[in-house]
Amino acid sequence: MYSGPKLGSAIVAKARGYDMKVIAVDDQFVNAKGKPMDTVPLVMMAATKIGERQGQELYKEMQKRGWDVKESAVMAITANELDTARRRTTGSMDALKAAGFPEKQIYQVPTKSNDIPGAFDAANSMLVQHPEVKHWLIVGMNDSTVLGGVRATEGQGFKAADIIGIGINGVDAVSELSKAQATGFYGSLLPSPDVHGYKSSEMLYNWVAKDVEPPKFTEVTDVVLITRDNFKEELEKKGLGGK
């Protein structure tokens, strides 16, 4: 267990001293200069692919609702200084364009922080610039940024039926999906902690017991879209509870 990627150099040095193997999961170790430590095997969620899935699901739900594309727009709440965030939101926007959504109606707005208040402020600044838009698709790097966007649309008088937000993480979306009335937060992409854990444990075991060195980079792409209809069942499947 460790508390941050910047401790990577210290952890690797300590591990070498004890002749131990190290695999990083989800966050890549960085050295004292902040450069990625590529020598340490890394297992992580495939940020670009998961972003693409977000975009595909947003487009699919928009079609299901029969929105007029001319009256619709994408609000992408970005944090491009963070590599994972940038790859997720870029993947999402690329997937929307590939599906046929007009690029000129995809608007990006940076957030100061990847939480609800930061995204709320960013979204508000975007909404006032585009009073012509009647339906919004909301893209963000996690559940909180998408929720911030949804809260901002509510404050501007949009109905839930005119907003589609899909987050990434799943667990942070439970209270929103549990509400008595549906909101603009349609669902979330739930990663597979069970797959991450299994893969990293298996690789570590094979490295120690069989001297099979793991690849330097392993992407995990397994995600499931959870919505009001299925979130309890899907969380229970992963041992995360559906409360």
What are the tens digits of pLDDT across the range 189-237? 998 877 778 889 999 999 999 999 999 999 888 899 999 999 999 988 8
Residue 107's nearest CA partner among 91, 127, 87, 121 is 127
Q: Which residues contact 5 (CB under 8 A, 6 or more apart)?
A: 24, 27, 28, 29, 30
The answer to whether residues 135 and 62 touch, using CB atoms and an 8 Å cutoff, is: yes
Q: Is 181 exposed, middle or buried (0-12, 13-18, 19+ CB in 10 A)?
A: exposed
What mean pLDDT is predicted for residues 2-16?
A: 80
What is the average pLDDT score of the chain?
A: 93
Tell me how far apart the alpha carbons of residues 93 and 234 are, in angstroms, rounded to a whole number.
26
pLDDT band at 243 (very low <50, low <70, confident <90, very high): very low
Q: What's the pLDDT tens digit per position in 160-183?
A: 999 999 999 988 899 999 999 999
At residue 180, the pLDDT reads: 96
Q: What is the DSSP string of 37-92?
A: -TTS-EEEE-HHHHHHHHHHHHHHHHHHHT--GGGEEEEEEE-TTSHHHHHHHHHH
pLDDT band at 242 (very low <50, low <70, confident <90, very high): very low
- Spans of all domains in the chain: 5-45+192-220, 47-191
Fold match between domain 5-45+192-220 and domain 47-191: yes
What mean pLDDT is predicted for residues 63-70?
A: 98
Pairing between β-strand 163-168 and β-strand 135-139 as defined by DSSP bridges = parallel
- In this predicted structure, the answer to whether residue 50 has a pLDDT above a threshold of 70 is yes
Q: What's the pLDDT tens digit per position in 124-145?
A: 999 999 999 999 999 999 999 9
At residue 133, the pLDDT reads: 99
Structure tokens at 121: 């402020």
The class (CATH top level) of 5-45+192-220 is alpha beta
At residue 171, the pLDDT reads: 82
For the entire predicted model, the pTM comes to 0.84
What mean pLDDT is predicted for residues 42-66?
A: 96
DSSP class of residue 213 equals: P
Residue 58's nearest CA partner among 76, 83, 70 is 76
Enter the CATH code of domain 47-191. Answer: 3.40.50.2300
pLDDT band at 241 (very low <50, low <70, confident <90, very high): low
Q: Give the angle 194-42-8 at the CA atoms, nearest 5°.
A: 115
